[in-house]
């Protein structure tokens, strides 16, 4: 092909098949990357690819003391997540009727596995 004609067409010297192959690869790789990175993320005050035993506050209630503790958890692996990490489930698990305060724990391993635990303290 004439060099002058090549420059007029944008200067691309690649055969069209190579561009199509790269496009097919991107169409496959991008959705897979999106699925893997965002499927099992844990909530926390700091976001990091690997998180172990991160703790933080959630809320406070009217109870004066906190002799009882209740825990509830939810977890996820890549595309599957299950569990009830609600405050009411944790309070019920600990036999708590008046909440003093609520904390949480988070564990996340590269978005592949994540666990969120709600911890309720109260009477």
Residues 113, 58 share a domain: yes
Residues 76, 33 share a domain: no
**Averaged confidence pLDDT in the chain:** 77
- Alpha carbon distance 57, 44 (integer Å): 10
Confidence of residue 84 (pLDDT cuts 50, 70, 90): very high
DSSP class of residue 21 equals H
The pLDDT tens digits of the residues spanning 94-109 come to: 999 999 999 999 888 8
Q: Record the pTM.
A: 0.63
Residues 55, 17 share a domain: no
Residues 32, 56 share a domain: no
Report whether 60 contacts 87 (CB < 8 A).
Answer: no
The tally of domains found in the chain comes to 2
Report whether 69 contacts 101 (CB < 8 A).
Answer: no
What is the domain range of residue 116?
A: 50-122
Residues 90, 33 share a domain: no
């Amino acid at each position: 092909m004439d060099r002058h004609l090549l420059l007029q067409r944008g200067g691309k010297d690649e055969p069209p098949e190579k561009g199509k192959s790269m496009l097919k690869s991107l169409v496959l790789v991008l959705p897979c990357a999106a699925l893997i990175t965002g499927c099992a993320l844990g909530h926390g005050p700091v976001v990091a690819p690997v998180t172990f035993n991160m703790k933080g506050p959630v809320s406070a209630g009217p109870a004066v003391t906190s002799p009882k503790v209740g825990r509830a958890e939810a977890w996820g692996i890549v595309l599957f997540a299950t569990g009830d990490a609600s405050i009411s489930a944790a309070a019920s698990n600990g036999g708590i009727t008046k909440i003093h305060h609520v904390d949480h724990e988070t564990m996340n391993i590269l978005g592949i596995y994540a666990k969120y635990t709600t911890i309720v303290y109260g009477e």
